[in-house]
Amino acid sequence: MMSMPNGAARTSRPVRLTQALVVACATALAGCSLFGKADKNPPAQLQPVTQTLTVKEAWRASVGKSGPYSLQPVAVGDKVYVSSHGGDVMALDATSGRTLWKVDTDVDLTTGPGSDGNVTAVAGEKGVVFAFDASGKQLWKKQINGEILSSPLVGHDLVVVRTTDTRVLGLDAQTGERRWIYQRAQTPLNLRAAMGMVFAGDGIVMGFPGGKLGVLAPSNGVLRWESTVSYPKGVSEIERLNDVTGLPMINGRQVCATTFQGRIACLELSNGQPQWGKDFSSPVGPAQDDVSLFAANENSVVYAFDRQNGNERWRNEQLRNRPLGMPLALGRSVVFGDFEGYLHFLSREDGKFVARVRAGSSPITAAPVVAGQTLVVQTRGGDVYGYIPE
């Protein structure tokens, strides 16, 4: 089992050890089993794929290993921003893979970058946050008292960061000065995995431990609404783990999300009113298009659900027990990386394989991103690939 990042919740020793398993399974996705059944559930053997989608490698670069974290790249226009656990932050041209700028923070980083193209922010161990301008020049450095695992959210003249002790802070994008803070009660145990945030109009949508989804006002951090995606079940703290995973998906007036050991559900964006929900458990979160919501469950079975009513459109069990990373809906396919560095392209219409490529041999846990016309993938081993799907 891999070493865990510092800052684990202070719990009794039995819970802390089990929590380490939870974090390793949810963020490292290295093929472990939460309840010790890995040997009984070997990963599915990959079968040959009839390539009906051409995926060409355009370039590759290296940023450095992710260590015990899942460092999510971010795309803005035709640029992509990446980071490494060793402290490097890079801006790449997505067409050529050329390095536009690179900085060494001299701090072990714990998040991928957030960027709006003008300001790029990243967080490191012991809660230090850095911000850089469009040329890579450091704008500011801010010490936050807490561990940060989620990529900063940059926009509305803000850098929004969240700590694992459930605080959310809005920092001035140009100075780093704190504009507001939102604090909520801690849960007994959580995944300590990255929990995404996204702007939706004049609101910040984010998931919380305990199966909650909510919206904060960017101007002052006030909670506009909070709704329950799923409720904890079971007796033990481990059984009751029930955190929103991945990134909330926004489409028009609808927001959808998944939870670990809980549900997949869609709600009304304006007020959090539930539209539909189904029992489901995902450690990595969903992807979407205008018709479907795509997600892999904790056994790496991939599903497509109708966005309007939650009906199952299809499922694919051929990747069972091959721990899958965060997905991306791209063109006529949905893309998943796995623990051996493969990228699997499934048809959005019926779930059948349309292509497969291998981006090295390191796990792919972060979601692929699209920058311009290029699909960009970062592996945990530190390689960054640019692909052109045709």
Q: What is the pLDDT of residue 194?
A: 76
Q: What is the pLDDT of residue 7?
A: 33
- Run means of pLDDT, 10 residues per run, the chain, 390 residues: 34 34 40 46 95 96 95 97 98 98 98 98 97 98 95 98 94 98 78 84 93 96 96 77 90 96 96 96 95 97 97 98 97 97 98 97 96 96 96
Cβ atoms 136, 155 nearer than 8 A? no
pTM for the model: 0.89
Q: Determine whether 208 is exposed, middle or buried from the number of CB atoms within 10 Å of its CB (0-12, 13-18, 19+).
A: buried
Residue labelled with tokens 């390539």: 51
Token representation of residue 222: 């006030």
Q: Could you tell me the sign of the dihedral formed by the alpha carbons of 374, 43, 304, 228, in that order?
A: negative
Q: Tell me the pLDDT tens digit for each residue of 333-375.
A: 999 999 999 999 999 999 999 999 999 999 999 999 999 999 9
Q: Determine whether 33 is exposed, middle or buried from the number of CB atoms within 10 Å of its CB (0-12, 13-18, 19+).
A: middle
Specify the fold of 55-389.
Answer: Methylamine Dehydrogenase; Chain H (2.130.10)
Q: What is the pLDDT of residue 188?
A: 61
Cβ atoms 84, 63 nearer than 8 A? yes
Q: How many other CB atoms are found less than 10 A from the CB of residue 285?
A: 28
Cβ atoms 168, 162 nearer than 8 A? yes
Domain boundaries, the chain: 55-389
Q: What is the pLDDT of residue 187?
A: 66
Q: What is the pLDDT of residue 36?
A: 39
Q: What is the pLDDT of residue 250?
A: 97
Q: What is the pLDDT of residue 23?
A: 39
Q: What is the pLDDT of residue 39?
A: 57
**Which 3 state secondary structure label does DSSP give 86?**
coil
Q: What are phi and psi of 26, to 5 degrees?
A: -80, -35
d(C-alpha 373, C-alpha 305), whole Å: 27
